[in-house]
Structure 1
Amino acid sequence: MADRAAGAAPAPPPLTHRRVLAIALPIVLSNATVPILGAVDTGVVGQMGEAAPIGAVGLGAIILAAIYWVFGFLRMGTTGLTAQAWGAGDRAEVDAMLSRALLIGGAAGLVLIALQWPLFAGAFRIAPASAEVETLARDYMAIRIWSAPAAIGLFGITGWLIAQGRTRAVLVLQLWMNSVNILLDFWFVLGLGWGVQGVAIATFLAEWTGAGLGLWLCRGAFRGAAWRESARLFEPARLRHMAAVNTDILIRSLLLQAVFVSFLFVAAGFGDVPLAANQVLLQFLQITAYALDGFAFAAEALVGQAMGARARAVLRRAALMTSLWGVLTVIGLAAAFAAFGGAIIDLMTTSAEVRAAARDYLPWMVAAPVFGLASYMLDGIFIGATRTRDMRNMMAVAAAVYAAAALALVPACGNHGLWMALLISFVARAVTLGLRYPALEAAADRPAQARG
């Protein structure tokens, strides 16, 4: 076998439950740290004793997260394409994928820096705030935007590591960034009194040092020559294939986001209390997503590697094993939400009206993990196989089903009908993707085609 630098990837270890958990659990732990950082950011500015800084940090962070989220396709697309190259034993293409992802991330970040003023102006037009909050939020965003190349590049780095099953490295990266951010928050805000700008500088430094650590964790890619070979990096067929995959994922993600945004808009029409209750209950969906991400990411890596190796039996085993752990996870989540959902609601709000309303709709949260499992897992499977056109098309069908269900159910059942429509959309996405799964498996039997 050719040596590593010459382009051969090492043979993957046997596919076992231990291997699935080794990939999945670090992602679950990594996700668990995300809310901690948001709580610290809010807590340190809260010590200033004013409302405006809290609102400014929250609004600024949400706007930047929404802007960066547009480039989330880079994480998913990089995972699928890299995993397939890894499974095919093409180490040179694995290394080249990292360079392409970094080039896209860097270029996207520079474009955002150049367009920051119209982007921020448009954001505040959509989400207006008081003059004081907007001024502080602009100060916060004006600092953080300069780490956009690092933040978006990290999508590619994370996807590249996940593709090889190196999720412990992803956990290390997340822990580093969160630890740096939290420590600098305390120093800059409470120690030096820099206020909102201190929070922004802390995040700016965390993202750039995180990107540096990420590159160090990926240092193996830079030992050979493939990562800098322009003929390979800019090969038209590979670039077209990467562009098609990423475009499909972007459209699919925009459609999914449209469903959730419309959900909130419709809920707003029910009044302040149902809207607040829905916002509380959406955190249950967030918990579900964080818990299932680990197994969906494992499916991306393992299915992608099997697809690259043209190993249909291994692909099916990867899909089944990761989904089995997903089933066990949602059973635990549904039981926990049924037993402790009321207590969780009480932690999130002190309003008696909102607590009562949220409890009224809590059964939908007990059902949501069960009804959503197949769509989560099939997303991971289809990303790994880079069957992104199917993902895009079936998400369009699911969005249409959601709209039809909402139009039919909301007038008759109100907010209960809205939740029912959302869960129906999960099922529609699962069923339609499930119908495309046999074609996905069959593709693993065909000889590898040029990436285009």
Structure 2
Amino acid sequence: MADTAAAVPDAPTLTHRRVLAIALPIVLSNATVPILGAVDTGVVGQMGAAVPIGAVGIGAIILSAIYWVFGFLRMGTTGLTAQAWGARDTAEVDAMLSRALMVGGAAGAAMIALQGPLFAGAFLVSPASAEVEALARDYLAIRIWSAPAAIGLFGITGWLIAQGRTRAVLAIQLWMNSVNIALDFWFVLGLGWGVQGVAAATLLAEWSGAAMGLWLCRAAFRGTAWRDRARVFAPARLRRMASVNTDILLRSLMLQGIFVSFLFLAADFGDVPLAANQVLLQFLQITAYALDGFAFAAEALVGQAMGARARAALRRAALMTSAWGAVTVVGLAAGFAVFGGAIIDLMTTAPEVRSAARDYLPWMVAAPVFGLASYMLDGIFIGATRTRDMRNMMAISLAVYVAAAAVLLPVFGNHGLWAALLVSFVARAATLGARYPALEAAADRGALQD
């Protein structure tokens, strides 16, 4: 794929090789994410005290939770840019980058301005000891200054994915991790900066990642569309971007509500089932990381087909990416069935937690299979920017989950809770699947929703 949005090439034939070329760099990029957290923890752990480890952990969780809210920028930018790319509207492709960067910059600036109440609220929800909170505040006070870069990277990443340039996304992730890890060792072990050193390393890594991302997008800045105020600030374009992003945000909040309530409900069954569920949720995280590549490929390819008003290409993109997703979930389910016990033993040494996690392991074998359609349809609907459907079907799925939990928990306990979660996956897939014909029909007239 060309580096420049000003010279959109003819769309290549959709082949399995092309799907894998888009998907595999995302899978590899996701695989690097846990490495950085492990290094952060390991380096600060050399200080020989528990408080710094806890401070870095809680500080990172607080920022991750806040940044998660802005995930809509990545998804919305991918769908809208992919459609402009498919329509050969190079000026709109470049203008979308400017809009995404402005949203990211404004959101980051707002976080810096509102850091006091944001962090105060976070510590009310996640209370910690006075020593941990004090160090965590030092950590957050440094890292908050990279908020514009971190959120802006959502837009840059979405813009690159829309064009199928996922190797560039992988390059950014590898660069950021390398810088972060190198600075971790220098600042913490070399200079003795402790928790503040970990924060400073991440701060510089995120700004350097944003700089690299802009460099990879440099071709867009050679033209004039990115700074064409009339186009960038076109009211209709801004309204559509706002509508898409708002729908995605609401949908994501409802999805997060399911997982947060899952954890809260698990706590009612006691410490051991709660710990077992925490261990098993890592299996779901692995599933999400593996399927992200194919869901992102669906976003890009479906979006391009939607922009080109090519219904046949859209259907082929949906089927081919989903087929590779199916291959992936079969491998995951088999792997969890064979190696699940060993993975559990790596995650915990507590005998009672190991035993409980094994009791619930069959749900993890089933989860990738039951979740496949919902993951892939999410990618398909994001690419088509059928975000109103995503929002509405998520609301129905949330209601189904609540009803299933109310019925199953009193009878089956924690097994009922896992069953309710899988029921929510099926409900999301069924409701989105029911709207898929309308999505295909929309390809004949562009991306406007019914």
* Equivalence for 1:131: 130
- What amino acid does structure 2 have at the position aligned with 1:444? A
Aligned to 1:355: 354
Q: What is the CA distance between 1:10 and its match in structure 2?
A: 2.1
Cα pair 1:5 1:91 within 8 Å, conserved: no
Say if 2:276 and 2:356, in contact at 8 Å, map to a contact too: yes
Deviation (angstroms), 1:8: 6.0
Partner SS state of residue 223, structure 2: coil
Shift of 1:51: 0.4
1:44 has 2:31 as partner: no
Q: Shift of residue 195 of structure 1?
A: 0.5
Q: CA deviation at 1:11?
A: 1.5
Could you tell me how far 1:7 is from its partner in structure 2?
Answer: 5.8
Inter-partner Cα distance in structure 1 for 2:358 and 2:148: 43
Residues 335 and 366 of structure 1 are in contact (CA less than 8 Å); yes or no, is this contact kept in structure 2?
yes
Matches within 5 A, 1:121-200: 121-200=120-199
2:82 counterpart letter in structure 1: A
How far apart in 1 are the matches of 2:208 and 2:174?
12
Counterparts of residues 38-437 of structure 1 (less than 5 Å): 38-437=37-436
Q: Using the alignment, how far apart are the partners of 2:4 and 2:337 within structure 1?
A: 53
Deviation readout 1:194-244 (Å, 9 max, x if unpaired): 100000000000000000000000001101100001100100000000000
Change (3 A) 1:240 1:150: same
Contact 1:288–1:333, Cα closer than 8 Å, also in 2: yes
Letter in 2 for 1:257: Q
Question: What SS class does the counterpart of residue 275 from structure 1 fall into?
Answer: helix
What is the rounded CA distance, in whole Å, between the counterparts of 1:6 and 1:365 in structure 2?
42
Task: State the AA in 2 paired with 1:406.
Answer: A
Q: In 2, Cα distance between the equivalents of 1:91 and 1:10? A: 10
Q: Residue type of the partner of 2:337?
A: A
Q: Deviations over 1:388-447 (max 9, x none)?
A: 000000011111100000000001000000000000000000000000000000000125
Quick one: which amino acid aligns to residue 39 of structure 1?
A
Contact kept in structure 1, 2:294 and 2:321, CA below 8 Å: yes
Which letter does structure 2 place at the counterpart of 1:114? Answer: A
Give the residue type in structure 2 aligned to 1:171: L
2:4 and 2:219 in contact (8 A); partners too: no
1:28 equivalent in alignment to 2:27:
yes
- 1:33 and 1:175 in contact (8 A); partners too: yes
CA–CA distance in structure 2, aligned partners of residues 254 and 157 of structure 1: 22
Letter in 1 for 2:356: A
- The DSSP-based 3-state class of the residue aligned with 2:70 is helix
Task: State the shift of 1:12 in Å.
Answer: 1.6
The answer on whether the counterparts of 1:5 and 1:224 sit within 8 Å (CA) in structure 2 is no
Q: Deviations over 1:113-158 (max 9, x none)?
A: 0000000000000110000000000000000000000000000000
Matched position secondary structure for 1:117: helix
Distance in 2 (CA, whole Å) between partners of 1:345 and 1:369 is: 17
Task: Give me the whole-angstrom Cα distance separating, in 2, the residues matched to 1:345 and 1:131.
Answer: 33
Give TM-score scaled by structure 1 length: 0.98
Q: Note if contact 1:8-1:89 (Cα within 8 Å) is conserved in structure 2.
A: no
Task: Tell me the number of residue pairs that the alignment of Structure 1 and Structure 2 aligns.
Answer: 448
Shift of 1:285: 0.1
Aligned mates of 1:304, 1:118 — CA distance in 2 = 38
Provide the C-alpha distance between the structure 1 equivalents of 2:259 and 2:445, rounded to a whole number of angstroms.
37
> Percent identity between the aligned chains?
84
Conserved 8 A contact 1:98-1:157: yes
1:32-58 alpha-carbon deviations (Å, 9 max, x no partner): 000000000000011111001111101
Q: CA-to-partner distance for each residue in 1:343-380, whole Å, 9 max, x for gaps? A: 00000001001000000000000000000000000000
CA distance in structure 2 between the partners assigned to 1:113 and 1:48 by the alignment: 29
C-alpha separation in 1, matches of 2:446 and 2:139: 51
Distance in 1, matches of 2:279 and 2:175, equals 29
Q: What amino acid sits opposite 2:427 in the alignment?
A: A
Equivalent residues of 1:23, 1:166 under 8 A apart: yes
Instruction: State the distance in 2 between where 1:5 and 1:29 align.
Output: 24
Q: What is the CA-CA distance between 1:166 and the residue it aligns to?
A: 0.1
Segments of 4+ moved more than 4 angstroms = 4-8
How far the C-alpha of 1:5 sits from its partner, in A, is 8.7
The answer to whether the 8 Å contact 1:7/1:89 transfers is no
Amino acid at match of 1:84: Q
TM-score normalised over the length of structure 2: 0.98
Q: 1:96 to 1:36 in 2, by over 3 A?
A: same
Q: Aligned AA for 2:155?
A: G
Is residue 386–residue 447 contact of structure 2 (8 Å, CA) maintained in 1? Answer: no
Q: Is the 8 A contact 1:267 1:275 kept in 2?
A: yes
- What letter matches 1:364 in structure 2? W
| Aligned-partner Cα distance in 2 for 1:323–1:93 | 29
Q: Give the gaps of 5 or more residues in structure 1.
A: none
Q: Distance in 2 between matches of 1:116 and 1:5?
A: 37
